Amino acid sequence: MKNKVRLVVAGVTLAALTAIGGGTAAYAHHAFAAEFDADLPVLLKGKVDHVEWVNPHTWIHINVPNIDALGKAKTGATYNWAIEGGTPNTLVRTGVNKNSLKPGTEVVVRGYQSKDKLCTTDWKGKRLKTSTCKANGRDVTFPNGCKLFVGSSGTNAPSDGADPGEAAAGNANKCAAL
């Protein structure tokens, strides 16, 4: 009888710990609106610096020249934008892979800026080392015109036609192998 009671208590404890752990994991993953602003669209043109293929989101880092009012790049002024994408698995399924986003590749990224609108600045002595801004990426366009969806689906991001799962997706992800 004691063994049966212990088994039941162990089972209930395991179920409770599993429920708490699962709830924590689900809570830790954020919706689009928790961090990004649908009213702050960005269009970024720059070169891929590197890509972090990590869960739960990939991060595409691009160097974007700071521009003047006429759209001309200011000498020596560059911002590193960290673009949040979907999971590595999601990107691979949409046609993006580690060879697609090689460092130095020129891209245009359409997305939405973080709600804080701030770029963190890393100073090296008295000289500016780098400034990093953050955005959620919707799609990446390559020099050959190929456009691939890199955003997260089902996160309450704006319905803007970028997600191939949306009815108005159009030509998203209709690219030849990169």
Mind listing the pLDDT tens digit for each residue in 77-114?
A: 788 899 999 889 888 887 788 888 899 999 999 999 88
Query: Which residues are bridge partners to 47 per DSSP?
Result: 63, 106
77 with 60, same domain?
A: yes
15 with 37, same domain?
A: no
Q: Does residue 159 form part of some domain?
A: no
Q: What is the pLDDT of residue 61?
A: 93
What residues make up the domain containing 5?
1-30
Assign 115 a pLDDT band (cuts: 50, 70, 90): confident
Ranges 4-18, 82-96, 140-154, most confident: 82-96
Assign 1 a pLDDT band (cuts: 50, 70, 90): low
Total domain count for the chain?
2
78/67 Cα distance (integer angstroms): 9
Q: What is the pLDDT of residue 171?
A: 42
76 with 94, same domain?
A: yes
pTM for the model stands at: 0.68
Residue 20, classed as helix, strand or coil, is helix
110 with 96, same domain?
A: yes
- Say if residue 153's pLDDT is above 90: no
Q: What is the pLDDT of residue 133?
A: 87
3-class SS letters over 56-123: CCCEEEEEEEEECCCCCEEEEEEEEEEEECCCHHHHHHCCCCCCCCCCCCEEEEEEEEECCCCCEEEE
23 with 75, same domain?
A: no
10 with 96, same domain?
A: no
Q: What is the pLDDT of residue 33?
A: 79
Q: What is the pLDDT of residue 121?
A: 60
Q: Does residue 160 form part of some domain?
A: no
Q: Does residue 53 form part of some domain?
A: yes
Mind listing the pLDDT tens digit for each residue in 14-67?
A: 555 555 444 444 444 567 778 888 888 889 999 999 999 998 889 999 998 877
Q: Does residue 176 form part of some domain?
A: no
- Say if residue 68's pLDDT is above 90: no
76 with 126, same domain?
A: yes
